[in-house]
Structure formats: structure tokens, C-alpha cells
Amino acid sequence: MSSKSSLAAWLPLARAHPFELKETPQWQPQDNEILIRNHAVAINPVDHALQTQAWYPLDYPTILGQDVAGEVQAVGANVTRFAPGARVLGHAVGMSTKQAQHNAFQTHTVLQTNMATEIPDSMAYAAAAVIPLGLSTAAAGLFQPDFLGLPYPTEPRTAPRAQSLLIWGGASSVGCNAIQLAVAAGYEVVTTASAKNFEYVRQLGATEVFDYNCPTVIENIVRYFQDGGPAPLVGVMDCINFSATAFCVDVVRRVPAVERKFVVTVRENFPTPPDGVTVKSVFGLSIKDNPVGKAIYEDYLPKALEAGSFVPAPRPLVVGEGLESVQAAVDLYGRGGISAQKVVVLL
């Protein structure tokens, strides 16, 4: 691999626009890492926020991006699970490590093996690329012991547990993954979505769905639980990072719960909850340093993708090819209007 074959969309300074296409060094995977040639990268709202608001401390110049799918080029020491030529998806962890090789918006990315999964030959790279960040964030909220602490999903799926989970924003990137993970772990899922996405979230496994645009949505959900519709609640996951956390708190404090009244949110800041309700903000990359990463990316996801019981969601929206298309793709999230889709660039 020559240095000229390795390019990245660099962010030279905080709030710089557009990205600058420049060469990268020849990245080398270290212990428990793999180097992949990226064939598709997915864009997330956080990428737009990082570029335009610089709300998170980064070391500039830097590269953004977390969702990748591609082909293994080289493996580091102690790697036996992957070999060159394998088709994989992975969560690029550079936002945490602040090392350029660990980011997605480039031709080659170094992935941690516990944050990567082999994908079936039948799965397009564009579809595979939509999974990682949404999956990690959902898994972090559902399965880490200091969050909801649910038992891990299995393939074949765990038998029903007679317990339910409320997922607010089921058609979002995090919500799509949270529904599937929760169902695979044996939980009945109640969710919210816009009316146009009702059937989509049901296809992903939700038992019941409510329109979050309805002025009486909270009362509708509370009545559904109080009237004995679903099994007792184990918690709530707010997946859409707007005003929904307060709605989730209002619901969880009023409905029958299995043990504790717990809300996981993707929001950074939220109002102080009432007594008896716990609210915690989740960070998807946290699972790279604990057993949840391996449990999801190594033990569960490869089998579930092969069986077809876990599907890439939300649907990929391919908007261009090549790193030169990444800036326009990121800009789309500043305009809004993307629903039940995730923006993807092919490389």
C-alpha cells in the first residue's frame, strides 16, 4: 500500500468547512486491531454537530466518522478471528482514542476487533455501514450493568421473558437497533414513531407503536400500560435527543415497573428527574472497554446477521461516491428531514 493510496477527509481546524482531502500515513494495526479498506461509510448527526459546533474536544487536524464497512487488509498481533479478505463492519473508535487511524472518513481505517463483525457475502457494504454507531449506543444503554443491565441478546432469540421495554424513537438509528436487540434478548418492545414509520418498526419487532406527534401520546402510553396491555416495564430508552427525555420520565414514573424506574437517554443534558426515577446519558463508544463490545460484535451479531434475524437498519440512503462526497453527505443532517434512513457514501 503506498501512501498515495490512503486518503482522508481531514478537518484541519474546529468548525472548518469543507473537509480537506489529504493523504494519510500507512496505518498499521496493533494488538487486537484490524486494518480495513473502507467500501462504505455512514454519516450520523453527531458528525454534523462535531464539525459545525465543535462541542466535543478533539485534537486538530482530525478525521471524523464512526460507521464503516469494508474488507480486511491486515491484522495485528493476537488476532485470530479475522483474516485478510474478510468482509466486515465496524465501529471506528477515534472519537474516544483521538487517534486519526481510528476514524471512518478515509480510505483505510483501523478497527478494534471487539468492535467489528464479519458480514454475510450477500450483504451490501452500504447496508452494513448503517449498523455500528446505532448498535453500540443501543447496546450500551440496554446491557451495561450501570444502565438497564439487561441480559444479552442471543441467536436463536431468547424465549419471551414476560417483561417489556419502551423505546422512544423506534425509527431512529439507535431505535432501530434497540428494538432488534431487545427482542433478541426476550423483551416485548413498545415504541414511538411518526405514523409513516409504524409498519417499519413493527417489522423490526415492536409489538405496539404510538405516534409521538400526537398531543396525547403520553396519556395514550400510560393508559396502555395501566390497562394491562404489555408486560411490566423494565425501563425506557430515549433515542432521539430532543424533548423526549421528559416525556419518557413522565411515562416511567406512572406505569407498572418490574424493579426500578430507569430512563436511558442519548441527550447530554436533561432536567433533574423526580424522586424514584433514574436518568442516565449513554455514550456508545463506552462498550469498547468492557465485555458488552465482545458480547454484541463477536458473540451475537455475526450469527444474527447470517440468520437474517438482525437486519441493517435504518435503510441506507446512498448519496454519493468517494471521499469528495462526504461533506455534502454531512451537510444533509443540517437540513433535517431524514427519517428511517441513514446517509451513506460509497468508497
Cell numbers at residue 161, please?
421473558
Whose CA is closest to 165, among 181, 177, 151, 182? 182
Local confidence band at 142 (pLDDT 50, 70, 90 cut-offs): very high
Strand partners, 263: 236, 279
Local confidence band at 336 (pLDDT 50, 70, 90 cut-offs): confident
Q: What is the pLDDT of residues 156-171, one digit of tens each?
A: 999 999 999 999 999 9
All domains of the chain, ordered by start, with CATH? 7-130+314-346 (3.90.180.10), 136-281 (3.40.50.720)
Percent of the chain at pLDDT above 70? 99
Rounded CA gap, 191 and 198, in Å?
A: 9
> Which residue type occupies 243?
S
Q: Kindly report each contact of residues 79-85 with a partner whose C-beta sits within 8 Å and lies 24 or more positions away, as own/partner.
A: 79/29, 79/32, 79/33, 79/34, 79/113, 81/113, 81/298, 82/34, 82/113, 82/116, 82/118
pLDDT at position 2 is 38
Q: What is the pLDDT of residues 17-46, one digit of tens each?
A: 999 999 999 999 999 999 999 999 999 999
Distance of CA 212 to the CA centre of its chain: 21
DSSP reduced 3-state for 256: coil
Is residue 78 within 8 A of residue 25, CB to CB? The reply is no
Average pLDDT of the residues in 200-225: 97
Any idea what DSSP says for residue 323? G
Cell numbers at residue 108, please?
483505510
Q: What is the pLDDT of residues 313-335, one digit of tens each?
A: 999 999 999 999 999 999 999 99
Question: Is 247 a residue whose pLDDT tops 60?
Answer: yes
pLDDT at position 346 is 98
Rounded CA gap, 126 and 130, in Å?
A: 7
Alpha-carbon dihedral angle through residues 62, 66, 67, 73, given to the nearest 10 degrees: 60
pLDDT at position 3 is 39
Is residue 14 within 8 A of residue 54, CB to CB? The reply is yes
Percent of the chain at pLDDT above 90? 91
The answer to whether the Cα torsion of 13, 14, 19, 23 is positive or negative is positive
Comparing 232 with 228, which gets the higher pLDDT? 232
Enumerate residues 6+ apart whose C-beta is below 8 A from 41.
65, 67, 68, 69, 104, 105, 129, 326, 344, 345, 347
Question: Is 4 a residue whose pLDDT tops 80?
Answer: no
Local confidence band at 190 (pLDDT 50, 70, 90 cut-offs): very high
Local confidence band at 1 (pLDDT 50, 70, 90 cut-offs): very low
Whose CA is closest to 176, among 311, 287, 333, 281? 311
Is residue 167 within 8 A of residue 175, CB to CB? The reply is yes
Q: What predicted TM-score, i.e. pTM, was given to this entire model?
A: 0.96
Rounded CA gap, 228 and 223, in Å?
A: 9
Q: What does the DSSP assignment read for 81-105?
A: S--TT-EEEEE--HHHH--GGG-SS
pLDDT at position 259 is 82
pLDDT at position 228 is 79
Question: Is 12 a residue whose pLDDT tops 80?
Answer: yes
Enumerate residues 6+ apart whose C-beta is below 8 A from 159.
186
Average pLDDT of the residues in 7-12: 98
Question: Is 117 a residue whose pLDDT tops 70?
Answer: yes
Question: Is 65 a residue whose pLDDT tops 60?
Answer: yes
Q: What is the pLDDT of residues 252-291, one digit of tens each?
A: 999 988 888 999 999 888 889 999 999 999 999 999 999 9
Q: Count helices and strands (H / E) in the chain.
A: 11, 16
Average pLDDT of the residues in 92-96: 97
Rounded CA gap, 141 and 264, in Å?
A: 6
Average pLDDT of the residues in 62-84: 97
Average pLDDT, the chain: 95
Any idea what DSSP says for residue 59? -
Cell numbers at residue 184, please?
433478541
The answer to whether the Cα torsion of 119, 108, 41, 319 is positive or negative is negative
